[in-house]
Chain A
Amino acid sequence: MALKEEVINLICTTLEVKEGEVKEDEKLYDSIGVDSTEVVELVVALKKQFQVPLETNDVTKFSTPLEIVETIEKKK
């Protein structure tokens, strides 16, 4: 599975939102109304799954899934 799909899947399962609600180029806040605590949960999940040293502020409410993919690739 491509990294982009993996990230989107992880966002959906971690935050318990339906597939299709998360758009690859849409800010998480705009697509699913993510809040700051959910971002913390997401960063922990991303770190675990992709084994990258993400900091909490590497991902924000206003990140898009594509930007998250880019950040993961940079940190790998």
Chain B
Amino acid sequence: MAERIAITGMGVVSPCGLKKETFWANLKRGESFVDEVTRFDASTYPSRIAGQVHELDHYSHLSSRLIKKIDVFSHMALVATEQALKDSGIDLENTDKNKVGVFMGNALGGWLFAETELRDLYLEGREGISPYMASAWFPAASQGQVTIYYGFKGYSKTIVADKASSALALWYASRTIADGKNEYVVAGGMEAPITPYALLCINSRGGLSKNNLNPSRAYKPYDLYRDGFAVGEGSGMVVLEKESHAQRRNAPIYGFIKGVGFSSDGYHYSQYRPDSSSLEYAIEDCLAQARWNKRNVHYICLDAEASEMGDYLETQAIKNVFGKQIETISMSAPKSMFGNLLGAQTALDLIATIFSMKHSTVLPTINYEMTDPNCDLDYTPNKAKERKIKKALIIARGRGGINVVLAIEKE
């Protein structure tokens, strides 16, 4: 990429805070925000714990007329977008809206709206179903709502790629700026999987921790006694623009998206290839595109599936790519504190990493107690540590082996 793509605004709706400052302050403490699901009766679900957003309405300026037409995942996206745009200081009045795009990642769509309306369809018939159903539930609905709300007309897309969705959205967004298609892009992701049907589907999918008796200790990636991840809900959005563009308008520059690496396992619809070669390829691909030497990577934000195979393969890929250099790299999984937000996760990983760079702090991987002999790296257990970070990688792996690695740099 000829010119760096700058991150100039950030917005967060997460289980551990609905503003970026709160998000960071809570993460730094190293506490868990995973708790029991209580908003509906989940007592028969094998996994009934999650990172949940409890105060969305307090931070929303949306009208009730709009809220009733949209699913909560779009609501979250609109709130995070509003924060990010405000943070970036863009003068929307004097911006060519034809050059503002929206790129979002989402895995599941808006199931709270969908399942409620489908119930009404079966109970009341055709006229029992809300006419907004058609435009509320599908994964691109949030992208549509954001573009309509702000009148953005630039090239926009929603990417559905399981837990790698927002990683890909961030990268494609960067490309549209580099190619001159967009001047600004609002990019990130949103996910609202804590609904009766969606949580059931994720349970059927497998991979969730069943440690329901101790939610805050449940998500423990790389630990010998891990039993899966905790799912989370929320949204993360950033504003992207060319570095020179941001400099011209004196915008705050939080960091840069420098490169991406991709690969697919090409192995199984739900399982990872049982060797780490695909992920290694994606990491190498990312380093090559960013034109980084392995020696210069300071931090890796981990995927942290919290499964025996997932954690092992990720560990192995990092070891194989970095060799002895691994001792100079810090790594952690901040998502162990609030859950994996699936299609929105990389957006939150990005914001957490940017704060880590700003405050020279490596966030911890919490709940780490017992070393797994197959996962023997330093994952920054339980407590944040001080460290200057200028270059970082973010790893995201979607189900069935969609591997995406982003390169982020501070200056």
Do A and B come from the same complex?
yes
Q: Does B131 contact A (CB under 8 A)?
A: yes
- Flag if B69 contacts A44 (CB, 8 Å): no
**Stretch of B60-68, B332-340, B378-386 contacting A (4+ beta carbons < 8 Å):** B60-68
**Measured between C-beta atoms, what is the minimum distance from B97 to chain A in Å?**
18
Q: Give bound CA distance, A15 to B67, whole Å.
A: 11
Q: Give bound CA distance, A44 to B64, whole Å.
A: 19
In the complex, per-residue mask of B125-142: 1 if CB is within 8 Å of any chain A CB, else 0: 001001110110000000
- Whether A47 contacts B131 in the complex (CB less than 8 A), given A16-B64, A17-B65, A37-B69, comes out as no
Q: Give bound CA distance, A10 to B94, whole Å.
A: 39
Q: Does A41 contact B (CB under 8 A)?
A: yes
Chain A residues closer than 8 Å to B69, beta-carbon distance = 37
Chain B residues closer than 8 Å to A44, beta-carbon distance = 127, 131
Q: Tell me the nearest residue of chain B to A32, going by C-beta.
A: B65
Q: Give bound CA distance, A19 to B135, whole Å.
A: 27
- Flag if A47 contacts B127 (CB, 8 Å): yes
- Flag if B65 contacts A37 (CB, 8 Å): no
- Flag if B65 contacts A16 (CB, 8 Å): yes
Q: Tell me the nearest residue of chain A to B132, going by C-beta.
A: A37
Q: Give bound CA distance, A48 to B65, whole Å.
A: 20
Q: Give bound CA distance, A40 to B135, whole Å.
A: 13
Most chain A C-beta atoms within 10 Å of own C-beta, residue among B64, B127, B131: B131
Q: Give bound CA distance, A16 to B132, whole Å.
A: 14
Q: Which of A16, A41, A48 contacts B131 (CB 8 A)?
A: A41
In the complex, per-residue mask of B39-67: 1 if CB is within 8 Å of any chain A CB, else 0: 00000000000000000000000011100
Q: Give bound CA distance, A76 to B132, whole Å.
A: 28
- Flag if A16 contacts B130 (CB, 8 Å): no
Q: Can you spell out 20 A-B residue pairs with CB atoms less than 8 angstroms apart? A: A15-B65, A16-B63, A16-B64, A16-B65, A16-B68, A17-B65, A37-B69, A37-B131, A37-B132, A37-B134, A37-B135, A38-B131, A40-B131, A41-B130, A41-B131, A41-B132, A44-B127, A44-B131, A47-B127, A48-B127
Give residues in B with beta carbon < 8 Å to A. Answer: 63-65, 68-69, 127, 130-132, 134-135
Give residues in A with beta carbon < 8 Å to B. Answer: 15-17, 37-38, 40-41, 44, 47-48
**3 nearest A-B pairs in the assembled complex, by CB-CB distance:** A40-B131, A16-B65, A37-B131
